[in-house]
Amino acid sequence: MIQVRTIRYQEIADELRTRIVSSGPGTLLPSESDLSHEFDVSRVTIRRALDVLRDSGLVESRQGFGWYVALEPVRQHLDELGTIEGQLAQRGVQADRRVLEFSFEEAPAKVAEVLGAGQVLRVKRLNLADGEPFAIVTVWCPAELGQHLSRRDVEDRPFYELLGRPLRGATQTIGADAATDDEARLLGVPPLSPVLRCDRVTTDTTGRRVLMSAHVFPAHRTEFVVEIPNAEASIAPAGLRLVE
């Protein structure tokens, strides 16, 4: 009988493949160092095993995150005013909101300056796609505009529908950052992992600023897409500016 010798990195790849089957998309794998210790092999061997899985489309890696189960990224188009939940629903993805904090309070200095309000309703929530967290969102609105709202209201429906006034548009600023310990815990990623921060100010048709929101997205599972109808003679991304 001929015995076929299985190479060690292939054995490890098979073991990890079995684990991945029961893991959800985006699930982080143990670090290469931890896997090296678990299987009592070098990191080179672990890397070869992970490369086998990546070639099969089962895992991906990104600087700052390490290795994770492959997934379809959450995409948000920025060419129109709308909610990312609505865009996910169009793709057949179940979007949910989990309200973490709901309070009427004195507005922080920056929020008071932007909204022109001393008292605000502040809502902090965790957004999920098919049960997996993809955003931490904090929203502020002037207290008089949110006084009729309850915790259940903002969990079931977006602010855009709850304010009861026509909206004109929004200004967004998106930048890269690192996750704090609390953000990492909520998003299920390692501390200091790359995140995208999006600050949005929404105005109504009279030009009044009625909402201010801060969004934190894990960079490995989020993409922002901008439609550019008339391309200028440049390959630079639209809207890019230097931060001093």
At residue 36, φ and ψ (nearest 5 deg) are -60, -40
Q: Which two tokens stand for residue 150?
A: 């309850």
Give the span between the Cα atoms of 106 and 112, in whole angstroms: 9
**The predicted structure's pLDDT at residue 157:** 86
Q: Which two tokens stand for residue 137?
A: 């969102």
At residue 75, φ and ψ (nearest 5 deg) are -110, 140
**The predicted structure's pLDDT at residue 58:** 84
**The predicted structure's pLDDT at residue 237:** 63
Q: Which two tokens stand for residue 165?
A: 């006034």
**Angle CA(135)–CA(139)–CA(142) in degrees, nearest 5?**
175
**The predicted structure's pLDDT at residue 180:** 93
Q: Extract the residue ranges of the chain whose pLDDT is less than 50.
A: 1-5
**The predicted structure's pLDDT at residue 1:** 40
CATH class of 8-69: mainly alpha
Q: How far is CA 102 from CA 1, 108, 124, 153, 162, in A?
A: 70, 15, 7, 11, 15
Same fold, 8-69 and 74-225: no
Neighbour-count burial for 93-130, b at 16+ CB within 10 Å, e otherwise: bebbbeeeebeeeebeeebbebbebeebbbbbbbbbbb
**The predicted structure's pLDDT at residue 4:** 38
Domain spans of the chain? Answer: 8-69, 74-225
Q: Looking at domain 74-225, does it have CATH number 3.30.470.30?
A: no
Say which amino acid occupies 41. Answer: V
